[in-house]
Structure 1
């Protein structure tokens, strides 16, 4: 058997699940094709696929995969790795990527806090707009403060379960 993955290599249940998970991710604001590509790689036993394998699995064009992969790598949901002995690249799902994305990428949240604070400088003091902006600033500041605690509790939970604390790359990615 070859390492090349095809649409037929997946069970009907796996193909349905890829579409189901992609729909959930798309409903959360992620681009549809990026959602499908991420779900396909996540479901694949190796946790990595080439562009051709993703295209065959999802029955889409290479161009669609390329655009999706570009977005996924930009937001650090997947990483690119060179296929040994080849000029091709494999796209890898690091099982910790979403955890890192949610808990560590507070740059956007920090920018929002600054934006809400700046907005309070231009609206009527004590007015309804100022109150909304202040509440959002307070919430996002609180959220940023909680992220470190969430990650510490997650690592403690993993340690209690006998798993090594996660950092990049994940255990499953190191096995590849």
Structure 2
């Protein structure tokens, strides 16, 4: 499988694939690239409906020359880049801002890999802030930790299967809550108002999570 940066020809083929409504996995297969490379490339350059290969190529050239991230936007300034929009969506869903920034930086990196030192430098934050963020992401299954074979440092990796693993972890937590509610309902009396309320909530969550797990297993091949 080829490595390195995407070429202009590859970006043109990505645009053609999007125009033909091919999935990211199919585009990646035709380019012999990881699906995560295609999804990150499209996400950071306008999305599936706004992707322009020439603009994406110029943006990649600017990033290569710069080597460092753009300075943080001023308070109250409008969100303009795809990266900022994704961060705001993640924060809106409940993710702490620093955690969202780390997650999105990994998501939009060329190979989905960063060391803690790289994250600290790119985001211009303290090592402690990065440590808290990556520990949370690892616990939730969003990223995994690997040992750098060339040294003693950890490398944080966001690959395609991370999406599946994060669904599993979230589902297990919710399922545990559902079953705790059902157990409490039995202890309090299933015929009492509180018991009935807990039974309804627990049963609802249990069925929803079971459906979610079935769906995640069904669609997991899209990530490969």
Contact kept? 1:51, 1:91, Cα under 8 Å = yes
Q: Could you tell me which runs of 5 or more consecutive residues in structure 1 were left unpaired when the two chains were aligned.
A: 9-14, 159-164, 167-176
- If the length of structure 2 is used for normalisation, what is the TM-score? 0.58
- If the length of structure 1 is used for normalisation, what is the TM-score? 0.71
Residue 62 of structure 1 and its aligned partner are, at CA, apart by 1.7
Paired with 1:133 and 1:66, the residues of 2 have a C-alpha distance of 37
Paired with 2:145 and 2:211, the residues of 1 have a C-alpha distance of 31
Contact kept? 2:140, 2:170, Cα under 8 Å = no
| Number of the residue aligned with 2:161 | 96
Q: Does 1:6 align with 2:71?
A: no
State how 1:64-103 maps to structure 2 within 5 Å: 64-103=129-168
Relative to 1, partners in 2 of residues 1:118 and 1:152: Cα closer, same or farther, differing over 3 Å?
A: closer
Residue 139 of structure 1 and its aligned partner are, at CA, apart by 1.0
Q: Does 1:117 align with 2:182?
A: yes
Q: Does 1:16 align with 2:81?
A: yes
Residue 96 of structure 1 and its aligned partner are, at CA, apart by 2.2
3-state SS of 1:6 partner: coil
Residue 38 of structure 1 and its aligned partner are, at CA, apart by 0.6
Whose relative contact order is higher, 1 or 2, with alpha carbons under 8 Å and at least 6 apart? 1
Paired with 1:124 and 1:83, the residues of 2 have a C-alpha distance of 54
Q: Could you tell me which runs of 5 or more consecutive residues in structure 2 were left unpaired when the two chains were aligned.
A: 1-63, 71-79
3-state SS of 1:80 partner: strand
State how 1:112-151 maps to structure 2 within 5 Å: 112-123=177-188, 125-151=190-216
Q: How many residues align?
A: 154
Paired with 2:91 and 2:210, the residues of 1 have a C-alpha distance of 28
Paired with 1:93 and 1:43, the residues of 2 have a C-alpha distance of 10
Q: Does 1:37 align with 2:99?
A: no
Q: Does 1:49 align with 2:111?
A: no
> What is the alpha-carbon root mean square deviation over aligned residues?
3.0
Q: Per-residue displacement from partner, 1:29-74 (whole Å, max 9, x unpaired)?
A: 2222111101111011121111222122222122211111121122
Contact kept? 2:140, 2:169, Cα under 8 Å = no
